[in-house]
Amino acid sequence: MFRFFLVDEPITGDLTYFGRRHAQHGQLQLNLPETTSIQALAVAQAARLLAATGWTADTYLNLLTQRTDELLARQAPAAGDPVSLTAAWTVSFDQLARDHPAALYTLTLLAWLAPEPVPLTLLTHQAGEAGTIAQDPLAFAELTTTLRIRGMAEVTTTTIQLHRVPAALLRARTRRDITADDDQDATWPVTTVRLLAAGLPEDPWINPPSWPSWRALLPHLLFACDPERPWQPVTTEVAYLLSRVAAYLQTRGDARTALPLFQRAYRLLKDLYGEDHSSTLSVASSLAVALSELGKHQQARELHEDVLTRRKRVLGDDHPDTLNSASNLAVDLSKLGKYGQARELTKTPSPVPNAFSATTTQTPSPAPATSPSPSANWANTNEPAN
């Protein structure tokens, strides 16, 4: 935590308080090591802007993420400031590019992730030289030490975190960059999605040991898959990540938060592959189960009926996925009081529990060994059953 001094009173990163105190007392006195001078400048200039506009810290941070250039243009240096914040960071980035290009690559990758701490293990999945360095403990320690000493990131034994201001500046600086000479689709948003797909933890479905890893990656997965980002070349991977995040939330009992993620994944896959594709049907089935868990049994019934019809046509009546869909539909029919129809569906031998004996039991199947390619079949992902 950086400490900033106003007159003789120490405070710590509360920008609203800092701006109010700065407005009251005027002259800012900074007592900081040289390595944190840019962070000090960031807080000082942000404080003046908060004091002048009356914005809250949340408003400032949202604008920093969404309208970086416009916001920082308003943060002109005061008479006592040596340079503007943007200029100060630009000099630092340029120096890092000369001294340690792989460190700048890693720093930029962090900028395109969420502002929360990033597990160091995720960075071992980087491409190129940065990935090679991340897999070498000595070389990676040298890289992270460089970022820490220069005040660019906070590093612990398990995580690394980039400050919001340099992150916003790096995103603005690199939004049109290509990260690989032989791949014109490899923009930073695309590269970030690929990194997360490569570093995804084990399937979360009824797998508590994997949950801490999912919890740590959750903000980064949501940030990288934001619908406003230009990640279209990796739409399949985005749909996959959304469905896996939703599965994690669902298995933790949070079907309400999982539902819109399943819906997004389902729409993306329908547009890409059509309604009969196995991946589309797998996510549709999970979406229907989430609807059922939220008590939306009529909507769940309609979707389960559609999935069952398509699976019978594509896979056959006796395929395990078809039987799983029949069992799911039977549960929703029983919830709607359609006991006769539900009983008819459960007369066929099924690998999943009878709808009348275990209406909430989930039936996992083997998880995929790798992240998806554009032609990936997701039939092997853990698909819940009512």
Give the pLDDT mean for 307-332.
94
In CATH, what number does 199-345 get? 1.25.40.10
Residue 378: predicted pLDDT? 54
Inform me whether the pLDDT recorded for 32 exceeds 70. no
Maximum average pLDDT range among 39-48, 74-83, 286-295, 337-346: 286-295
Q: Mean of the per-residue pLDDT values for the chain?
A: 79
CA atoms within 13 A on the CB side of 369: 0
Residue 1: predicted pLDDT? 34
44 vs 359 pLDDT, higher one: 44
Maximum average pLDDT range among 267-281, 334-348, 369-383: 267-281
Tokens of 34: 């040289």
Q: Which of 11-20, 174-183, 229-238, 248-257 has the lowest mean pLDDT?
A: 11-20
Backbone phi, then psi, for 154, in 5-degree steps? Answer: -95, 130
Inform me whether the pLDDT recorded for 160 exceeds 90. yes
Give the pLDDT mean for 282-290.
96
Inform me whether the pLDDT recorded for 7 exceeds 80. no
Residue 90: predicted pLDDT? 82
82 vs 290 pLDDT, higher one: 290
pLDDT confidence bin for 197, thresholds 50/70/90? very high
Q: Please tell me the distance from the alpha carbon of residue 203 to that of residue 323, in angstroms, as a whole number.
A: 22
Residue 53: predicted pLDDT? 60
Question: Can you tell me which residue has the tokens 């002259």?
Answer: 27
- DSSP-assigned states of every residue in 81-143: -SS-HHHHHHHHHHHHHHH-HHHHHHHHHHHTS-SS-EEGGGGGG--HHHHHHHTSHHHHHHH
Give the pLDDT mean for 182-188.
89
- List pLDDT tens digits, range 47-62: 655 665 666 777 766 6
Strands (DSSP E) found in 261-323: none
Q: Residue 223: which residues within 8 A CB-CB, separation 6 or more?
A: 113, 114
Domain 88-174 fold is Arc Repressor Mutant, subunit A (1.10.10)
Tokens of 131: 């990935």
Give the pLDDT mean for 280-293.
96
Residue 92: predicted pLDDT? 85
- List pLDDT tens digits, range 169-182: 899 899 889 888 77
Structural domain boundaries of the chain?
3-82, 88-174, 199-345
8 Å CB contact between 64 and 165: yes
Q: Please, where are the H alpha helices in the chain?
A: 15-25, 37-53, 57-66, 68-74, 85-99, 101-111, 128-134, 137-149, 164-174, 188-198, 211-224, 235-251, 255-273, 278-293, 297-315, 320-335, 339-345
Q: Please tell me the distance from the alpha carbon of residue 331 to that of residue 355, in angstroms, as a whole number.
A: 5
8 Å CB contact between 344 and 372: no
Tokens of 327: 């069992």
Closest among 131, 111, 261 to 189, alpha carbons compared: 111
pLDDT confidence bin for 348, thresholds 50/70/90? low
Q: Please, where are the H alpha helices in 26-67?
A: 37-53, 57-66
8 Å CB contact between 84 and 69: no
Length of the chain: 386
Give the pLDDT mean for 244-260.
97
Q: Residue 219: which residues within 8 A CB-CB, separation 6 or more?
A: 114, 116
- List pLDDT tens digits, range 82-124: 446 677 778 889 999 999 999 999 999 999 999 999 999 999 9
8 Å CB contact between 282 and 320: no
Residue 12: predicted pLDDT? 40
Maximum average pLDDT range among 39-48, 84-93, 261-270: 261-270
pLDDT confidence bin for 344, thresholds 50/70/90? confident
Helices 235-251, 278-293: axis angle to 10 degrees equals: 30
Maximum average pLDDT range among 184-188, 215-219, 349-353: 215-219
